[in-house]
Homo-oligomer: A and B are copies of this chain.
Amino acid sequence: MKLKVKILKFLTGRPVCMIHEKTAQEMSLHIDNRISVKKANKRTISIVNTISNIIKPNEIAVSNTVIQHLKLKKGDVVEVEITERPKSINLIKKKLKGEELNQKEIQEIVQDIAHNALREAEIAFFIAALNSKGMSLNETKNLIQAMVKTGKQLKLRGKVVDKHCIGGIAGNRTTPIIVPICAAAGLIMPKTSSRAITSAAGTADVIETIAKIDFSIKEIKKIIQKTNACFVWGGALGLAPVDDKIIKVERIVKIDSNAQLLASILSKKISVDSNYVLIDIPYGKSAKVSKRQAEKLKAKFLNLGKRFNLKLQVVLTDGREPIGNAIGPVLEIQDILKILKREGGPKDLEEKSIMLAGKLLEMAGKSKKSKGEILAKQILDSGKAFKKFEQIIKAQKGKIRKLKSGEYTHIIYAKSNKKIISYDNKLINNLARFAGCPQDKAAGVYLHKKANQEIKKSDKIMTIYATSKEKLEHAVKFYNKNKKEMVEYK
């Protein structure tokens, strides 16, 4: 049936169309049925709502995502058709029963997610199936392939390297140090990062304090041509977009599965054409995984790396406490600039960054085996890394400048002589969030002391930064309630 577009500017969590009750009856459509909406060659699927005023029987109003996708304007005529119940629902059921899915079946599910043919509840069943039944490596490989195929891809020449941390550690902002080292060495490093989801800051939030991070694929190519690298937000690029849709539903209950974690990371890497991939898996009590889980995950990464012909290495790193002293976008970039300018900064963050950059240099043949760290440190010490960083920031329409941390502060002092054993990553992240992160870029937590350092009575342990008195009080309250679990002393 042909319907005329009426523009009601509404935003919903999923693609929705509103049609007149009578039209719905005529087409035997019911609420929550799926229809395909077509204009010229473009087609998308949306969920049916009905309405009996405002809209006429020959009209249709669609939510903003549909308007954008089909580039609709008032009065446009679209072809509307009922779509059948997607077959992929039966495949999800199959997976819920614990059966293995083949390549075609996984492709069908992923394609239906890509085209909005599956609703949130259906995606939830898929996630729950992966969580309870797991996926074989073969299934995971097919999932990755399908995710890459349904998204955009960046095509690059040269030795393209990438590194990825599975997350879970507060601070740990190695990317802005590794990328300029590798780029200065002549490697291509198209780094896409996420914003904070449950943490206090993502790499995208940190870079955003001094540069733009939201570019199109075309713009990214230009930035890379100029500088060998970039630090951009991966969210709206359309690389493996099914991954983002799955994560959105997954976030509801905050569960994930190994298969989904592997697919999420590797689909993004393959989409940006990486040939050399380094995976960082921090383990520890408050990290995402234990040492044993880390080792299992490592084996899976290595296996999948082979299947995709990637040069892939995995390092297991110490995740018992945050890496670096700063947690929060502005606080973190300040420390990163200190390291890049060779003006000090946290030693553990510097060492970890050099170690990871060194590995990438070795993997891509820029240095001999076991000499990568030396080269990485040379590039850093020579100022070449800082220069490259400046160049990339400039290409991203940014500028290196002094930033102010939150003006409302609260300092925690040691009440006796002691030593720290570890910080709880989740609680430190939450503390920074209570102080305003990631929205308030100047908010956060600064750890003056780390594990194994001697602490004397009245030494500063940490400072909380906020941009309002209320948020600071909120954060201090959270600290007092959770301090025992947040910092473990011996």
Contact = CB atoms under 8 A, between A and B. Distances in A.
Nearest to A47: B13
A11 interface: yes
Nearest to A133: B132
Interface string A36-67: 00000000000101111110000000010000
Interface residues of A, number: 43
A52 B67 CA distance: 14
Nearest to A131: B96
A85 to B, nearest CB: 9
A133 B122 CA distance: 19
B132 A9 contact: no
A96 B52 contact: no
B253 A10 contact: no
B10 A18 contact: yes
A129 interface: yes
Given A89-B252, A93-B255, A252-B121, A31 B54 contact: no
Contacts of A120: 119-121, 124
Given A11-B31, A13-B31, A128-B132, A253 B49 contact: no
Nearest to A89: B253
A8 B393 CA distance: 49
A9 B51 contact: yes
A47 B18 CA distance: 17
A289 interface: no
A254 interface: yes
A125 B123 contact: no
B131 A253 contact: no
A32 B13 CA distance: 6
Interface of A: 7-13, 16, 18, 21, 31-32, 47, 49-54, 63, 89, 92-93, 96-97, 119-125, 127-129, 131-133, 249, 252-255
